[in-house]
């Protein structure tokens, strides 16, 4: 007779292992999340540091997103599209809206670099790393091996 623990363990072993593209994508998403939280912490040393409430809120959001990202390894296509929508689209927009708004108002990257404090430069550097990790992670989610993984895992789950 099977116990629930045995059934759970069997179900996990029946799932195909994620291909390297998905594993690397998960790592890059987690790196992006860490860069975002590191930027928050760096801003503590700035002229207008985030409050404890803001830090706690961001930490909670980052933790929830990290849990979501790790679920990519399950192969569920709905998780992939949720990550793409939340982190790839909304998250990217949240990272670029301030710099784009500043440039539309007449600021220039050269002017920013010339006048920025060390804290602002560190935060900007982390934001660039954050964006690079997001773009690479997004691309890997649509690598042929990743597409096959999400398609096969979704089909196997539906057929079961």
Residue with tokens 């690079």: 132
The reported pTM is: 0.84
- Distance from CA of residue 72 to its chain's centroid? 11
Q: What is the pLDDT of residues 4-16, one digit of tens each?
A: 544 344 455 577 8
Q: What's the whole-number mean pLDDT along residues 98-114?
A: 93
Q: What is the pLDDT of residues 34-47, one digit of tens each?
A: 999 999 999 999 99
Expressed in angstroms, the distance from the first to the final Cα of the chain is 21
pLDDT band for position 61 (50/70/90)?
very high
Segments making up each domain of the chain, as ranges: 19-159
**Residue 9 pLDDT:** 43
């Amino acid at each position: 007779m099977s116990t629930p623990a045995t059934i759970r363990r069997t179900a996990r072993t029946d799932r195909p292992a994620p291909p390297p593209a998905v594993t690397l994508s998960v790592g890059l998403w987690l790196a992006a999340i860490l860069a975002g939280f590191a930027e928050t912490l760096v801003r503590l040393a700035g002229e207008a540091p985030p409050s404890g409430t803001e830090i706690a809120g961001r930490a909670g959001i980052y933790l929830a997103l990290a849990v979501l990202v790790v679920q990519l390894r399950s192969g569920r296509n709905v998780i992939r599209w949720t990550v793409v929508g939340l982190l790839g689209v909304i998250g990217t927009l949240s990272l670029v809206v301030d710099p784009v708004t500043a440039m539309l108002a007449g600021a220039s990257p050269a002017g920013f670099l010339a006048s920025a404090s060390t804290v602002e430069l560190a935060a900007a550097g982390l934001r660039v790393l954050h964006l690079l990790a997001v773009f690479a992670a997004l691309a890997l989610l649509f690598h042929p091996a990743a597409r096959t993984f999400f398609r096969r895992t979704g089909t196997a789950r539906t057929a079961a």
